[in-house]
Amino acid sequence: MIIKNGFLINPSTRQSRKMDLRITDGIISEIGPSLLASAKEEVLNIEGLTIAPGLIDTHTHFRDPGFPQKETLHTGALAAAKGGFTSVICMANTSPVVDSVPVLQDILSRASSEKIRIFQAASVSPSLNGQALTDMPALKEAGACGFTDDGIPLTNASLCYQAMQAAAALDVPVSLHEEDPAFIKNNGLHHGKVSRQMGLYGSPAVAEESLVARDGMLALRTNAHVVIQHISSGHSVELVRMFKLLGARIHAEATPHHFSLTEEAVLTHGTLAKMNPPLRTEEDRQAIIRGLKDGTIDLIATDHAPHTAAEKQKPFPNAPSGIIGLETALGVGITFLVRPGHLTLMQLLEKMTVNPARLYHLPCGTVETGRLADLLIFDPEERWIPNNFVSRSSNSPFKGTELFGKIKYTLCGGQIVYDSEK
């Protein structure tokens, strides 16, 4: 196949120019202007469109095994492809938990038949109990790309320290959900103006900040690659910035919802704006944007968290936290970060492609000869409205919201896995 006349943005080389790409056996075999196609080659003319590395999500929940009514590996893969993602890393809080080699191998075996690349993180502790470590070397050997008890914080500081030491020795990241339950009465809702209006005591920012401060110091002492997941507090951003300056190998994820929405969204969207950690204040949102601009926050991840409509229709305190995000992430990024001038399109894509690939040692995230032909083709100027999701769930506050950045094609290994015309 030859892809012709696309405007190539490649964050790994920081180059942007009009180029053709030749793909041979799933690999980018040639990049150059005005490539000539042989009689046997398919030609995809993308005049007027932008081509970039396929997106990589370091934080997603496919709910498989255990919760097929919410999502499966297959429906999650379809949602990822529609959103321009060619690689995702699934979290370990499934049922059973990904805390043993057989569970991990089962997921990876089934994932291999899907049309995108599905990587799997294993849990730090058995059954997410936070009291002991899993066999991290065996799980890494079996294919785990990192470790996390996401969904549940590691309140045992000594165990967290041991997990970081083990992860550093294995050269894989450990990712942390930073919410100390001791501070929280109703999760999924920021404790502030809106929670008081609703008559609820929610989750104060200090619940996150206290663990970020602790784990930044542990990261500094262990030299582990430590990821602060779905950062939500401006003070947390400042802490990450400080620990980076001190030399810690600390990273932070920002979700599209945390850089685009505030606690006020709960009044409009109800449980569709309930997530852990919660949406916070406009001041926090602006601090996250500043962290994205200066590189303090180096990853954008969706925390794609599907739930059934029935679950989300429960009263606010009883409904589960989380929203889907794979199909809207690029559009939200372009609409709320690029168009207002906070980030360039190159910078946005950097945090969604090459940075995650480098951190997790993934064989993708760049457009270069000899590399995998995992590609995203889109129109950054085209408006669209998300209404129909291919995910098994539809719990999104962005449903019906006009976004910019329409995905036209997603290619994984040189194969078209999403075509907006089909």
User: Can you tell me the distance from the alpha carbon of 269 to that of 398, in angstroms, rounded to the nearest whole number?
Assistant: 9
Contact in structure between 12 and 354 (CB atoms under 8 Å): yes
Residues 6+ apart with CB under 8 A from 132: 125, 126, 159
> What is the C-alpha end-to-end distance of the chain, expressed in Å?
19
Calculate the CA 57 to chain-centre distance: 4
CA max distance for the chain: 69
Angle between helices 205-222 and 234-246 (to 10 degrees): 10
Q: How many CA atoms lie within 13 A of 89 on its CB side?
A: 30
Strand order of the sheet with strand 55-60? 55-60, 85-90, 117-120
Reported as type and span, the H/E element at residue 253 is: strand 250-254
User: Can you tell me the distance from the alpha carbon of 75 to that of 57, in angstroms, rounded to the nearest whole number?
Assistant: 16
303 is annotated as an active-site residue:
yes
Contact in structure between 155 and 130 (CB atoms under 8 Å): yes
User: Can you tell me the distance from the alpha carbon of 251 to that of 233, in angstroms, rounded to the nearest whole number?
Assistant: 15
User: Can you tell me the distance from the alpha carbon of 255 to that of 59, in angstroms, rounded to the nearest whole number?
Assistant: 9
Question: In 96-233, which ranges are continuous DSSP H helix?
Answer: 101-111, 136-141, 157-170, 193-198, 205-222
Contact in structure between 189 and 195 (CB atoms under 8 Å): yes
Question: Cα dist. 95→106, 126, 264, 289, 312 in Å?
Answer: 13, 12, 33, 35, 20
Tokens of 56: 């990589």
Which of these is catalytic: 20, 149, 303, 374? 303
User: Can you tell me the distance from the alpha carbon of 405 to that of 224, in angstroms, rounded to the nearest whole number?
Assistant: 36
- The amino acid occupying position 360 is Y
Q: Mind telling me the catalytic residues? A: 303
